[in-house]
């Protein structure tokens, strides 16, 4: 007769137990917001990650349903945590860990369009010698006229 044991099934080394809470630096790394945990830690210490409008500490335990604001370069994303993982997977698996809010997507698209429009004001090329001389003459003429107008006041 076999003895029944009440041991939990063993997990293979690639499977992990379901997470209830995880450190924010581990999750940001697993969700592929940052390449290394060190860069995630530096971003958190630098005030680039917020929870409820407040800066967080590296040791902050996060749970499913929490809303984080993450700034990366020009972009600021507001994401809701949908799953937890301490293991860094591929990009498609990482995208399943969070969902960006519709307001955040709209805001990022608006700023992207504004950045593109601001780049249109830049000239296509550097001015040639002749064009530089014309600019200098133009400025010199208008500066002297401005001085005359100010003297008249």
| Cα–Cα distance for residue pair 29/10, rounded to 1 Å | 26
Cα–Cα nearest to 106, from 74, 72, 78: 78
Helix (H, G, I), strand (E, B) or coil at 142: helix
Helix (H) or strand (E) holding 76: strand 75-81
pLDDT digits (tens, 9 = 90+) for 95-133: 999 999 999 999 999 999 988 888 777 777 888 999 999
pLDDT digits (tens, 9 = 90+) for 45-68: 999 999 999 999 999 999 999 999
Sorted by where each begins, the domain ranges of the chain are 22-119, 125-153
Helix (H, G, I), strand (E, B) or coil at 34: coil
| Cα–Cα distance for residue pair 59/24, rounded to 1 Å | 7
The topology under which CATH files domain 22-119 is 3.10.290
Q: What is the pTM of this model?
A: 0.67
Upper half-sphere CA count for residue 113 (Cβ side, 13 Å): 5
Cβ contacts of 50 within 8 Å, gap of 6 or more: 56, 68, 69, 70
In Å, how far are 44, 89, 116 from 31, measured between CA atoms?
Answer: 15, 8, 28
């Amino acid at each position: 007769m076999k003895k029944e044991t009440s041991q939990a099934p063993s997990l293979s080394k690639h499977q992990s137990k379901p997470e209830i809470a995880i450190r924010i630096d581990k999750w940001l790394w697993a969700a592929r917001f940052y390449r290394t945990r060190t860069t995630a830690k530096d971003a958190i210490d630098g005030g680039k990650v917020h929870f409820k409008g407040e800066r967080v500490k590296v040791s902050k335990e996060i749970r499913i349903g929490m809303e984080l604001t993450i700034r990366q370069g020009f972009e600021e994303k507001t994401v809701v945590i949908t799953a937890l993982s301490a293991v860094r997977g591929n990009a498609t698996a990482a995208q399943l860990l969070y969902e960006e809010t519709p307001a955040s997507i709209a805001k990022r698209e608006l700023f992207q369009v504004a950045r593109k429009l601001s780049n249109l004001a830049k000239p296509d090329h550097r001015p040639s010698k002749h064009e530089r001389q014309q600019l200098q003459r133009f400025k010199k003429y208008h500066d002297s006229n401005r001085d005359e107008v100010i003297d008249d006041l």
